[in-house]
Amino acid sequence: MNYRAIFSLLFFSVYCFSYPPEFYLKNRHPINSHRYSTFHQALQLLTERNAKVVVETGTSRFGSNGFIGDGGSTIIFGDWACHNSALLYTVDISSSNMDQSKNASTPYSNNIRYIVSDSISFLKSFPEKIDFLYLDSYDYEVGNPHPSQNHHLKEIQAAYPNLHDNSVVMIDDCSLPKGGKGFLVIPYLIERGWKIIANSYQVILVKETSQ
């Protein structure tokens, strides 16, 4: 092997190495957890589609204590963004929840923008195209599902102009009585030519025309 080939190999392994999805889930989600397979698929899609702009509504308010209960998405997607030259925008209405999330995602903070705001106002004025959108804000209550379902509908309506043909949308807390957070979001997207590619506790949708 000549010097040029050795240099290329070293450059590739140092700068271009992309870890498999399992790397970002290890010691965070057990393989049999209700979010493992969908987080795994989402991470795979992020890598395959070379996502650069990732937006999540609802930050990891319990830090690394929230993997099982809430998901720990800011830490997982922040870690991925850090290894893939992407930016994660995490928006939350609560500044104390954002502080917790910041503390837990410090190693990846160069690749995370923390925004304290109502998610709908934030999405309405977001200026960039969104490659991956994760909806997980307003808490869902089975006894009072409409406030959360309406809020998530307004989020997708606000974000929709910034989605493109290769965007991915994932929604948390879906397979719950009375439809969960995706109850209104999923039909909204299907009516516009999107299809479900993963349907469990989290639901993933892509445009019908994309791979």
Ligand X SMILES: C[S@@+](CC[C@H](N)C(=O)[O-])C[C@H]1O[C@@H](n2cnc3c(N)ncnc32)[C@H](O)[C@@H]1O
149, HSE (Cβ side, Cα atoms, 13 Å):
19
Q: Which of 37, 42, 58, 159 binds ligand X (CB under 6 A)?
A: 58
Which span sits near ligand X by CB under 6 A: 2-10, 38-46, 136-144, 199-207?
136-144
SS3 content of the chain, % helix, strand, coil (to 5): 45, 20, 35
Tell me: does residue 79 bind ligand X (CB under 6 A): no
Is there binding between residue 136 and ligand X (CB under 6 A)?
Answer: yes
CB 169 within 8 A of CB 131: no
Quote the least distance from Cβ 209 to ligand X, whole Å: 28
**Could you give phi then psi for residue 119, rounded to 5 degrees?**
-65, -35
Determine if 71 is a binding residue for ligand X (CB under 6 A).
Answer: yes
Of 37, 38, 60, 105, the residue at the interface with ligand X (CB under 6 A) is: 60
Q: Binding ligand X by CB under 6 A: which of 40, 61, 181, 207?
A: 61
Among residues 39, 43, 53, 70, the one that binds ligand X under rule CB under 6 A: 70
> CA 122, CA 46: separation in Å to the nearest integer?
22
Q: How far is CA 178 from the centre of its chain?
A: 23
Quote the tokens at residue 85.
């030259």
| Residue 73 is a binding residue for ligand X (CB under 6 A) | yes
